[in-house]
Chain A
Amino acid sequence: MSDLIVLDRVGMVYTTASGSVEALREISLGVGAGEFAALVGPSGCGKSTLLRIIAGLRPATSGAVAVAGRPVDGPLHAVGMVFQVPVLLKWRRVLDNVLLPAELAGLDSRRHEHRARELLRLVGLDGFADKYPRELSGGMQQRAALCRALLLDPPLLLMDEPFGALDAMTRDELNLELLRVWGEGNQRRKTIVFVTHSIPEAVFLADRVVVLTPRPGRVASIVPVSLPRPRTVASRASGDFGALTLQIHESLTRAQPPGR
């Protein structure tokens, strides 16, 4: 099986004025093309760092990363990124924010306007194309950020706790929406690496959940999620869902020494 992302004993050590901090140790992991992989772990375990290493935004201090068979030695250019905060440009209307990747890449943004409007419609923002970000709720802003990440149709989507700052109901809603946009059932769907600290969110979304240990982050376990797709609100009520959640929870607790 060919993996789109291959991490081979990736390590990350920060050197600061007060010494060095080991953030990640010997992470080896493969993510298949079209797979939805979730990374869960306690705060500070280096999940976000790992995402940045995959994106080529930060070099690992040891080990190797390859995406689509090529070693990553600089920022990847066919990747969509969604962060914990929407980081929309507040002086641009929603549509222009979604078009930003085209402009940054030096493409003719008018050629992408149709696609941008289609994405906005897909996430229920069709009436908001001409609004400024501050006129949108947090959930709507994050939807717009998702559209921006999808504009140039990247095969790989890296998401760093994208719904972590939202209230529980909006988060559940956006989880369903993300699966719909991702195209469950679609054969040529995108590869997603999704960082979260919510176990139920990871189980609900992912094909596989990668559990990381506290700092230095190592792979504690990899839990395949065999819940049928497309997943619905009812998926959360199934016995399998509960069992997987518990299993991951236990794996996390084992990785996390008591008293922390």
Chain B
Amino acid sequence: MDRWLTRNAPAIVLFVALVGAWQVAVSAFGMREYILPSPLVVLRALGGSEIPWAGHLWITTLEIVGAFVLAGVVGVALGIAIAWSPVLAKALVPFLVFVNTLPKVAVAPLFLLWLGYGVVPNMLIGALIGFFPVVINTAVGLTQVDEEMLDLGRVFNAPKWRVFAKIRIPNAYPYILSALKVTATAAVVGAIVGEFVASQKGLGYVIITTQGSMNTPVAFAALVWISVIGLAVYGAVVLAARWIAPWAETSE
């Protein structure tokens, strides 16, 4: 804990200073609450009973985690397919690049049209935004293997799947994990966008409703909750990376 504190002291000092300046500025300039609420007001809204936070938090967390898992699983599977077979690579890559060039946010209304309100379409939007880097990094990690290492596989007559299992897939772990960090943030964007477009629950829905009621402190509180979920997912990936691939150089 002490070491954690020393390591993160600069960030903590800056954070406290910024929040302090915000608090001072709001009272010094007499800011109206619906324009910019002070940190203390936001804090009160965060714990307030005015909004049933638990329910909204649960829905949005579910969407974000679902989107993240879906993007991870589909992304890794497609990456393996591309690295496994040149024919599959030729078939899939142009299609994936095309999907990636679509502005995914613009697809959100279609998803809602097809799948209706609810958790699933928002998960899909998040997954759609987040899966591409996983595919690319998986494929790259599987192919960036020393030629000499592959020679060893040939010399020992190892079948292709065994070379994947013993050499290529472990080699790809750090690549996949660094893509998942990007996916963690993309999943948050997707879930919130989906909720903006159409929903009756979730933190994105809470933010939309405050527009009408000018309840800006609640919008800020929702933002805080969203970043808490985002940080938690991101932190989980960082921890997983340390556990799964402690031998890789960490780049956070």
B173 touches A104 (CB 8 A): no
**B-side contacts of A90, CB under 8 Å:** 247-248
Tell me if B154 is interfacial: C-beta within 8 Å of chain A.
yes
A104 touches B146 (CB 8 A): no
A106 touches B162 (CB 8 A): yes
Shortest beta-carbon distance, B56 to chain A, in Å?
41
Tell me if A132 is interfacial: C-beta within 8 Å of chain B.
yes
Q: Which residues of A (51-66) have their CB < 8 Å from a CB of B? A: 52, 55, 57
The closest CB in chain A to the CB of B149 belongs to A87
Binds A, one of B113-121, B163-171, B192-200, B228-236: B163-171
A104 touches B245 (CB 8 A): no
Shortest beta-carbon distance, B116 to chain A, in Å?
45
We find that the number of chain A residues with CB closer than 8 angstroms to chain B is 23
Secondary structure class of chain A's binding surface, majority of residues: loop
Tell me if B31 is interfacial: C-beta within 8 Å of chain A.
no
Contact with B along A105-120 (1 / 0, CB 8 A): 1100000000000000
A105 touches B156 (CB 8 A): yes
Shortest beta-carbon distance, B166 to chain A, in Å?
6
Tell me if B153 is interfacial: C-beta within 8 Å of chain A.
yes
B156 touches A77 (CB 8 A): yes
Tell me if A100 is interfacial: C-beta within 8 Å of chain B.
yes
The closest CB in chain B to the CB of A132 belongs to B247
B247 touches A104 (CB 8 A): no
A103 touches B166 (CB 8 A): yes
Q: Range of interface residues on chain B?
A: 20 to 34
Tell me if B158 is interfacial: C-beta within 8 Å of chain A.
yes
Of A52, A76, A77, A90, most buried by chain B (CB within 10 Å of CB) is A90
Binds B, one of A22-30, A78-86, A203-211, A229-237: A78-86
Shortest beta-carbon distance, A83 to chain B, in Å?
4
Q: Are A91 and B146 also in contact (CB < 8 A) when A55-B155, A101-B152, A104-B158 are?
A: no
B156 touches A101 (CB 8 A): yes
Tell me if A134 is interfacial: C-beta within 8 Å of chain B.
yes
**A-side contacts of B166, CB under 8 Å:** 100, 103-104
Q: Are A81 and B173 also in contact (CB < 8 A) when A87-B149, A100-B166 are?
A: no
Contact with A along B140-161 (1 / 0, CB 8 A): 0000001011011111111100
Tell me if A68 is interfacial: C-beta within 8 Å of chain B.
no
A91 touches B247 (CB 8 A): yes
The closest CB in chain A to the CB of B151 belongs to A57
Considering the chains assembled together, what is the distance between the CA atoms of A41 and B55 in angstroms? 74
Shortest beta-carbon distance, A159 to chain B, in Å?
12
Considering the chains assembled together, what is the distance between the CA atoms of A146 and B57 in angstroms? 56
A75 touches B162 (CB 8 A): no
Q: Are A105 and B247 also in contact (CB < 8 A) when A57-B151, A100-B166 are?
A: no
Considering the chains assembled together, what is the distance between the CA atoms of A219 and B151 in angstroms? 26
**B-side contacts of A76, CB under 8 Å:** 155
B155 touches A81 (CB 8 A): yes
B148 touches A89 (CB 8 A): no
Contact with B along A34-72 (1 / 0, CB 8 A): 000000000000000000100101000000000000000
20 further interface pairs, Cβ-Cβ under 8 Å (given A77-B157, A104-B158)? A52-B151, A55-B151, A57-B154, A75-B155, A76-B155, A77-B155, A77-B156, A81-B151, A81-B152, A89-B170, A90-B248, A100-B152, A103-B166, A104-B153, A104-B162, A104-B163, A104-B166, A105-B156, A105-B157, A152-B156
Q: Which residues of chain B have a CB within 8 Å of any CB of chain A?
A: 146, 148-149, 151-159, 162-163, 166-167, 170-171, 173, 245, 247-248
